[in-house]
Amino acid sequence: MTDQRPVDAQDQQPRVFGFSLSFLRNQALRRILAAAGAPVRFGWPKASDCVLVWGRANTAARGRAIAEKTGAGVITAEDGFLRSVKTGRQGESPQSVILDGQGIYFETSQPNDLRDFLEQGPELTAEQARHARDCIAFLRENHLSKYNDFDVEAPDLPDDFVLLVDQTRHDASITGAGADEGTFQQMLDAALAENPNAKIVIKTHPETNAARRRGYFDANDVTDRVILYREAVSPWTLMAHAQKVYCVSSTMGMEAIFAGHRPVVFGNAFYCGLGLTDDRHPSVTRKTTRTPEHLFHAAYVQYCHWYDPFTDTASDVIGVARTLATQGGFARQHRKPQVFVGMRLWKRGFLRRFFQGAAKAPLFLDDPQKAISAAKRDGADVFVWSGKETAELAEGCAQEGLTLYRVEDGFLRSAGLGAALIEPVSLALDDLGIYYDPTRESRLERLISDSVDLPKTALTRAAAIRERMVSLKLSKYNLPANASEVPTAQHTVLIPGQVEDDQSILKGAGQVKTNLGLVQATRAVFPDSHLIYKPHPDVRAGLRYGGEALEEIAQIADQTLADADIATLLDHVDCVSTITSLTGFEALLRGKSVTCFGAPFYAGWGLTDDRGDVPTRRSAMPSLDGLVHAALVDYPHYWDPVTSKPCTVETILDRFAQGQVQRTGRGSIRWLAKAQGLFASYAHLWR
């Protein structure tokens, strides 16, 4: 007999057996099911066991027959409502799964767990309703749907249109909703009759666009009023511009509710009968009245099981949403081919891996004109390491209408020095300028300005990231270091040394341009404070130039701590004094005061004591967490060193916490790092 209780409500999980080759062949799917509490076995079930079937696929009938013969229960599995970037038929594994102990949500005439959650579940608590609203807002703002391989902008849409949602032929969700081919024609006829002055835009299914399955509408349905829209565009964009939404049983109907529509629904879809839809199917009866928040909570929180592919463990809806937003956003921004200009040999390997999901493998060229010609030919974007950008390259890209990205390390980079050829876990890709150059606007600067309008949920996320970074004592390079004595009775100022020929100094310094000048200026501002000078790690390692004034600095500063851990030092000082060092930003994370003699990206926003000239365009007044969100969430792209996939900053924090971030250069390039150290004085020859 089938166990009629929801899986989550069962006192003891039964053994789960599968009779589909997909469960045997698809290791990723088995891991997801195991994380959801349904590890699949292979063998013959007993009456106390369960048989797992996938949806209503052909193999499901076999599993159900075995369950009936043995008396075992049946659990039906399906993709969750936020699945992946690409479709399953394109080879991408899901990040959510449904496990239904009664039926399946799209067979609305039969019992299923989701129906119970919607009809019998209690009213939401205030916290549950708030969480649902926050999640819906996150989906809308990040354009998240079941599949997410699309653009945000929608070309060639009419001004006034009604949206019709097509589905794939003979899908079980259509028959399960009591619909057929005639239902789709009925929907089109009604849309034309009820909206005589509007265009009808038929949105094709992603699997139809990928040439995997046919839809119900094709070119034969196109007229002067009916448009077949095959563009891979965000459903949220379409729904934001549509006057009305018509559907049969697509989950886009549910998303339309979240987008503020009252969709016209021609099938007996699972979200019908709740007072949220204009129901046209004769089998629909009013079950109960629910809010969009209740629908979200039942469908996404109670019904779906969520999976973290980075930790191989169960997750939650917001964790998966953040991952899909990151992966979808990266794919969307960099779907064009890439042409890299003047990239050093050791960087090319990780850049190839970083962009491995692109349509073509990255092309590496040294000549700017050849790079521009190749990018024009291939419809590619151009990438250059920020310090290697030339006026010739920038002007050439502008003339040809090519996007030029400046590439730099992110602010949470590695467990070792870049100059020692340690690969980064994050990159900044800036299409406006670059964060350390205040002479022109950068993408980060714009993000910081816009952060004043971030929702509370984004600021809460940024605060959690900030607190975790501080608790893990993370900085940019995260080098092993020695503990040092720091006085606590006196006001203490940390002065981080910098690489004096670094681009951040060349572009962002004002009158104070050297480490000696910084120490002198700091003493003038803080005559009675205890000054600690810490040389830059690259200079300390002999890999970069940091000036020859250590003796003079030692006469002014009270301490020189070359090998101290920067994160530990920040915990024990009151203030940081800098030209443009990232240490100033890391000090802000820890609530320390920061004095800037240059114009780093975090200066000029009302968060620092600015003694240098900062751009007047920095007029916004963001919060600290707004700055953090811009600098650590929105600006960099993160790359998981374990799975080699785009990931969130939270995943990178987990990797640092678990010691899973690379600490040494790959074996084939370590000798280059040693040679670079020996010839640091001649760095201009290879940089």
| CA dihedral over 640, 433, 595, 621, signed as positive or negative | negative
Q: What residue type is assigned to position 253 of the chain?
A: G
* pLDDT value of residue 669: 46
CA distances from 99 to 71, 436, 564 (A): 19, 49, 52
pLDDT at 369: 95
What is the arithmetic mean of pLDDT over 322-331? Answer: 95
Among candidates 424, 405, 428, which has minimal Cα distance to 337? 405
Q: In the predicted model, is pLDDT for residue 680 greater than 50?
A: no
Residue 520 to residue 556: CA distance in whole angstroms: 7
d(Cα 118, Cα 297) in Å, to the nearest integer?
Answer: 9
Is the pLDDT reported for residue 486 higher than 80? no
What span, in angstroms and rounded, lies between the C-alpha atoms of 4 and 75? Answer: 10
The CATH number assigned to the domain holding 575 equals: 3.40.50
Q: Tell me: pLDDT of 522 over 90.
A: yes
Residues 535 and 454: beta-carbon distance below 8 Å = no
416 pLDDT band, cuts 50/70/90, is low
Q: Is residue 317 part of a domain?
A: no
- Banded model confidence at residue 201, pLDDT cuts 50, 70, 90: very high
- Classify residue 357 by burial, with Cβ atoms within 10 Å: 0-12, 13-18, 19+: middle
Domain extent at residue 531: 449-670
H runs (alpha helix) in 345-442: 345-354, 368-378, 391-399
Q: Distance between CA 490 and CA 528 in Å, rounded?
A: 9
Q: What is the pLDDT of residue 7?
A: 46
Mark whether 616 and 487 lie in a shared domain: yes
Residue 338: inside a domain: no
Q: Is residue 318 part of a domain?
A: no
| Whether residue 221 is found in the same domain as residue 280 | yes
How confident is residue 229, by pLDDT bands cut at 50, 70 and 90? Answer: very high
Residue pair 323/142 in contact (Cβ under 8 Å)? The answer is no
- Is the alpha carbon torsion for 117, 111, 14, 17 positive or negative? negative
Rounded CA separation 687/666 (Å): 19
What domain count does the chain have? 3
Residue 211's identity, in one-letter code, is A
Are the C-beta atoms of residues 384 and 627 closer than 8 Å to each other? no
pLDDT for residue 224 is more than 80: yes
Lowest-confidence pick of 67-76, 83-92, 350-359, 646-655: 350-359
Mean pLDDT of the 318-346 span: 93
Last residue of a domain, one of 120, 143, 167: 120
What residues contact residue 577 under an 8 Å CB cut-off, 6+ apart?
493, 494, 495, 518, 521, 522, 525, 526, 531, 594, 595, 597
- What local confidence, expressed as pLDDT, does residue 22 receive? 87
- Can you tell me the distance from the alpha carbon of 380 to that of 404, in angstroms, rounded to the nearest whole number? 10
pLDDT at site 479: 62
Please check whether residue 404 lies inside any domain of the structure: no
Residue with tokens 């196109």: 222
More confident site: 71 or 681: 71
pLDDT > 70: percent of the chain: 90
Band (91; pLDDT cuts 50, 70, 90): confident
Considering the domain architecture, whether residues 111 and 139 belong to the same structural domain is answered as: no
CB 647 within 8 A of CB 310: yes
pLDDT tens sequence across 237-246: 999 999 999 9
Based on the fold, state whether residues 560 and 653 are members of the same structural domain: yes
pLDDT (0 to 100) of residue 545: 59
Phi, psi of 207 (to 5 degrees): -70, -25
Percent of the chain whose predicted confidence (pLDDT) is above 90? 75
CA distances from 562 to 5, 80, 597 (A): 64, 52, 22
Co-location of 17 and 41 in the same domain: yes
Distance CA 464, CA 629 (A): 10
- Between 563 and 45, residue with greater pLDDT: 45
Residue 389 lies in a domain: no
Q: How confident is the model at residue 675 (pLDDT cuts 50, 70, 90)?
A: very low
Amino acid at 537: P
Residues 182 and 38 in one domain: no
Element (H, E) at 229: strand 226-229
Please give the Cα distance from 304 to 82 (Å, whole number): 9
Picking from 186, 157, 357, the residue whose alpha carbon sits closest to that of residue 267 is 186
Last residue of a domain, one of 280, 308, 336: 308
How far apart CA 228 and CA 184 sit, in angstroms, is 14
Least confident of 112-116, 140-144, 441-445, 548-552: 548-552
Q: How confident is the model at residue 346 (pLDDT cuts 50, 70, 90)?
A: confident
Is residue 335 assigned to a domain? no
Mean pLDDT along residues 531-551:
75
Sign of CA dihedral 677, 679, 683, 685: negative
Q: Are residues 86 and 145 in the same domain?
A: no
Tell me, what's the pLDDT at 475?
78
Whole-number pLDDT of residue 286: 84
Least reliable range by pLDDT among 95-99, 538-542, 599-603: 538-542
More confident residue, 472 or 418: 472
Higher model confidence: residue 422 or residue 369? 369
One domain for residues 582 and 605: yes
Listed ranges 472-486, 530-544, 552-566; the one with the highest mean pLDDT: 552-566
CA distances from 18 to 44, 50, 64, 616, 668 (A): 9, 9, 10, 65, 45
Is the confidence at residue 173, as pLDDT, over 60?
yes
What's the whole-number mean pLDDT along residues 533-540? 80
* H helix runs in 4-125, sequence order: 21-25, 27-35, 58-70, 113-120
Structure tokens at 244: 């009305």
Residue 679 neighbours by CB distance under 10 Å: 12
Is 637 within 8 Å of 318 (Cβ atoms)? no
Average pLDDT, the chain: 90
- Residue 189 and residue 137 share a domain: yes
CA nearest 452: which of 607, 624, 602, 623? 623
Tell whether 33 and 162 lie within a shared domain: no
Write down the pLDDT at residue 385: 93
The pLDDT of residue 564 is: 84
Together in a domain, 32 and 160: no
Q: What's the pLDDT tens digit per position in 107-151?
A: 999 999 999 999 987 899 999 999 999 999 999 999 999 999 999
604 and 660 belong to one structural domain: yes
pLDDT of residue 659: 87
Does residue 241 lie within any of the structural domains? yes
Distance CA 450, CA 606 (A): 15
Residues 532/573, Cβ–Cβ less than 8 Å: yes
Per-residue pLDDT reduced to its tens digit, 149-159 = 999 999 889 99
Last residue in a domain, options 61, 94, 120 = 120
| CB distance 540 to 482 below 8 Å | no
C-alpha span between 55 and 62 (Å, rounded):
12
DSSP code for 112:
-
Q: Is 404 helix (H, G, I), strand (E, B) or coil?
A: strand
Domain membership of residue 439 (yes or no) is no
How many C-beta atoms surround the C-beta of residue 193 within 10 A? 8
Cβ atoms of 427 and 407 within 8 Å: the answer is yes
> pTM (2 decimals)?
0.89
What is residue 419's predicted lDDT score, i.e. its pLDDT? 55
β-strands 245-247, 161-165: how paired?
Answer: parallel
Q: Evaluate if residue 678 carries a pLDDT over 50.
A: no
